[in-house]
């Protein structure tokens, strides 16, 4: 499955694929960096609604985008994390550097 990108008003929403492993991590990193730079993205949203697995290379992609967005004054948000992906966020420490939106927050 390919990554899906939606760009609107300085916000880039990325629908993360079912499995974010080293094969897709490189593609995701390159395409995201290109879009961030070309369209001056200020908010980066990773939508994990269809994601079941993420390995260390996927975690690395998220950390790298977080650093680059923080450097440019932007923000990174993760949303629609299932229980498995939430555990990955906690164990890896991603929950400390990436803001996590729950469905209740999205309604406000």
User: Under CATH, what is the fold of the domain 4-107?
Assistant: Transcription Regulator spoIIAA (3.30.750)
pLDDT at position 2 = 76
End-to-end CA distance of the chain: 31
pLDDT at position 102 = 79
CA proximity to 36, closest of 87, 73, 1: 73
Per-residue pLDDT of the chain (108 residues; tens, 9 = 90+): 578 999 999 999 999 999 999 989 999 999 999 999 999 999 999 999 999 999 999 999 999 999 999 998 999 999 999 999 999 999 999 999 999 997 655 444
CA proximity to 20, closest of 58, 61, 46: 58
């Amino acid at each position: 499955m390919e990554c899906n990108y939606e760009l609107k008003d300085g916000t880039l929403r990325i629908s993360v694929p079912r499995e974010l492993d080293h094969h897709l991590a490189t593609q995701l990193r390159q395409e995201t960096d290109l879009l961030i730079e070309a369209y001056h993205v200020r908010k980066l949203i990773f939508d994990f609604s269809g994601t079941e697995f993420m390995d260390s290379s996927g975690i690395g992609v998220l950390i790298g985008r977080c650093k680059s967005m923080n450097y440019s004054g932007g923000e990174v948000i993760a949303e629609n994390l299932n229980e498995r992906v939430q555990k990955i966020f906690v164990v890896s420490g991603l929950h400390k550097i990436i803001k996590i939106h729950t469905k209740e927050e999205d309604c406000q």
